[in-house]
Amino acid sequence: MQRRSGRSDGVRKVASGHSGVGVSQVPVAEGKSVQQTVELLARRLEALGADKQGTFGVDCETYHTAAALGTQGQTGKLMYVMHNSEYPLSCFALFENGPCLVADANFDTLMVKLKGFFQNAKANKIESRGTRYQYCDFLVKLGTVTMGPSARGISVEVEYCPCVIANDCWNLLMEFMQSFMGSHAPGIPSVFSTKHDSAYSPGDTMVQYMELFNKIRKQQQVPVAGIR
């Protein structure tokens, strides 16, 4: 993983190569809670021979461009500030369909200073936390997506570490995901189609999480308990 100095020297792009990752959402099994479905997936992974390797977390805060900024066309544009425990010294700032910037972790303090221009929509904070698994050269992160107090969904991130070109290993990644997710394995993520032959970067993973979080936010809240 990339190492970063504590000194802030502005926003920069991550240059180091990274491996192909697919992030997808798994629907909650019928008649089951989010937690039960996560446990079911964990059992399938362990049956496959995957080993537990600690925990992970990805969080995402939403910022509105403040009205004070003025320009009509810009209103309503959202910025997402995200963190990933795999890159503890980095902070990711993303616009929908827009650029993804990778900054030092103290980017958060900068955002506080910019609160005249960007307002934090605190209620929209969403995160995914769970367990990391290793199977051969695959890294699987099985997470529960929560918004406020309620569990809203399940995220599965699969990384094939030896491969730096996401498009090269997509078929292989799909076959692996199907082996424990069955028919819920995802279609090809949009970041893959735009990447062509360039190397995958951590920002591409964050874009996939952002898209997944947006999808979950728009969904009706899952009735976790008292379904019958």
Partner 1 sequence: MADGALNPGVNLEAFAQAIAAIQALRSSVTRVFDCLKDGMRNKETLEGREKGFVAAFQESLHSVSRDLGELERLSNLVGKPSENHPLHNSGLLSLDPVQDKTPLYSQLLQAYKWSNKLQYHAGLASGLLNQQSLKRSANQMGVSAKRRPKAQPTTLVLPPQYVDDVISRIDRMFPEMSIQLSRPNGTSAMLLVTLGKVLKVIVVMRSLFIDRTIVKGYNENVYTEDGKLDIWSKSNYQVFQKVTDHATTALLHYQLPQMPDVVVRSFMTWLRSYIKLFQAPCQRCGKFLQDGLPPTWRDFRTLEAFHDTCRQ
**Residues of the shown chain interacting with partner 1 in the complex, contacts defined by CB under 8 A:** 16-19, 49, 135-138, 160-165, 168-169, 171-172, 175-176, 179, 197, 199
Kindly state the smallest distance separating residue 192's Cβ from partner 1, in Å: 13
Kindly state the smallest distance separating residue 117's Cβ from partner 1, in Å: 37
Kindly state the smallest distance separating residue 81's Cβ from partner 1, in Å: 27
Q: Which is nearer to partner 1, 78 or 165 (CB)?
A: 165
Q: Which is nearer to partner 1, 49 or 148 (CB)?
A: 49
Q: How many angstroms from the chain centroid is the CA of residue 77?
A: 20
Q: Which is nearer to partner 1, 129 or 195 (CB)?
A: 195
Q: Which is nearer to partner 1, 49 or 88 (CB)?
A: 49
Strands 118-135 and 100-104: unpaired
Kindly state the smallest distance separating residue 48's Cβ from partner 1, in Å: 8
φ and ψ at residue 69, rounded to 5 degrees: -65, -25
Kindly state the smallest distance separating residue 76's Cβ from partner 1, in Å: 39
Count Cβ atoms within 10 A of the Cβ of residue 76 and give its class: 0-12 exposed, 13-18 middle, 19 or more buried. Answer: exposed
Kindly state the smallest distance separating residue 165's Cβ from partner 1, in Å: 5
Structure tokens at 135: 């199977």
Residue 170 to residue 163: CA distance in whole angstroms: 10
Q: Which is nearer to partner 1, 134 or 214 (CB)?
A: 134
Q: Which is nearer to partner 1, 17 or 99 (CB)?
A: 17
